[in-house]
Amino acid sequence: MKIGCHVSIRSGFAGAARAAWEMGASSFQYFPKNPRSLAVKAFDHRDAAACKQFCEKNGIVSIAHTPYPTNLSVDDPDLYQATVRSVINDLEIANACGSIGLVVHFGQYKGKVEDPLFGYKQMIRMVNDILGQWTGAALLLIENNAGQGNSMGMTIEELVQIRQLLAQPERVGYCLDTCHAFASGMWNGTDWQPVARKARELGFLKHVKAIHLNDSMHPTGSRRDRHANIGKGHIPEAAFQEVFETPEFRELPCVLETPHPAGESHQKEIAWVKERFIANTKASL
């Protein structure tokens, strides 16, 4: 697996790729623009091309992540259009950087319509609108939710059905967040084999294109989205080992979104994960 972490683009896209490589990462994630804004960004195409070239030369896989305000289930007309424009802009940047896809959280409807399916309908409508205007190769990667503030996107069944109902499902994959899966109760840390078996039968696993590798500060089923360093939270190390040994995940980018002290990088945690889990995984295959 390609172990990496989230990297800042303060030194540009190519700078982010170099920073990932220097800390021993073989994958990385980045925000294409200001993570707190939906404003469309005019980006440096030469910088993006240099990022793509550097990654190809050094065997690095990258993924992009939409800004925090992105919500696929909004109903306000102005916010809806702003979100569509923003996600398309993010996809353009991700594609130019050579990233395999753009991670976006499963929608969370917080409006006043009482129809329990309305949020899902809005999400399908928005994703169809986005992909209807997007012609590049970068995929849209839907991430499972932890359940904090809203119960949408917490189950494998929801993730699979949303994709199946889209006009162009082949252009959508998944990003599996281990903390979110644990916090939502999708996975309790002792039952990965039956969870993986169900996910395989439903067609979920084969469309997972990236993993967010995070421990959880809170117990399973807490629905609290608080990441912990691997081995420092409530998810047992043996549970992570099972995830690493999943055949469908062997070549995927596996990105840490865990805390680290100010001024330091994820270099030590990347090395520890490789030593603790990847070596054991290779030995078992």
User: 189-223, pLDDT tens digit by residue?
Assistant: 999 999 999 999 999 999 999 999 999 999 999 99
- Phi, psi angles (nearest 5°) of residue 115: -60, 115
Beta-bridge partner residues of 63: 29
Measure the CA–CA gap between 91 and 101, rounded to whole angstroms.
Answer: 7
Any idea what the CATH number is for the domain that residue 62 is in? 3.20.20.150
Q: Which two tokens stand for residue 210?
A: 């990236």
How many domains would you assign to the chain? 1
pLDDT at 284: 47
Query: pLDDT tens digits for 109-120?
Result: 998 898 989 999
Answer whether residue 263 shows pLDDT above 90. Answer: no
pLDDT tier for residue 281 given thresholds of 50, 70 and 90: low
CA proximity to 237, closest of 213, 267, 206, 260:
213
pLDDT tier for residue 227 given thresholds of 50, 70 and 90: very high
240: Cβ–Cβ under 8 A, 6 or more apart, which residues? 178, 213, 230, 231, 277
Whole domain around residue 75: which residue ranges? 2-284
Better-predicted residue by pLDDT, 61 or 149: 61
**Is the Cβ–Cβ distance between 98 and 51 less than 8 Å?**
yes
pLDDT at 4: 98
Measure the CA–CA gap between 121 and 130, rounded to whole angstroms.
Answer: 14
pLDDT at 285: 43
Query: pLDDT tens digits for 13-23?
Result: 999 999 999 99
- Phi, psi angles (nearest 5°) of residue 5: -160, 175
Taking 3-state DSSP, the helix, strand and coil percentages for the chain, each rounded to the nearest 5, stand at 45, 15, 40
pLDDT more than 90, % of the chain: 92
Measure the CA–CA gap between 89 and 101, rounded to whole angstroms.
Answer: 13
Mean pLDDT of 262-280: 88
pLDDT at 280: 67
Beta strands at 227-228 and 172-177: parallel, antiparallel or unpaired: unpaired
Mean pLDDT of 139-160: 96
CB atoms inside a 10 Å sphere around CB 24 = 16
Position of tokens 């596996």? 254
Consecutive H or E run containing 83: helix 77-96
CA proximity to 128, closest of 176, 162, 91:
162
Mean pLDDT of 46-60: 98
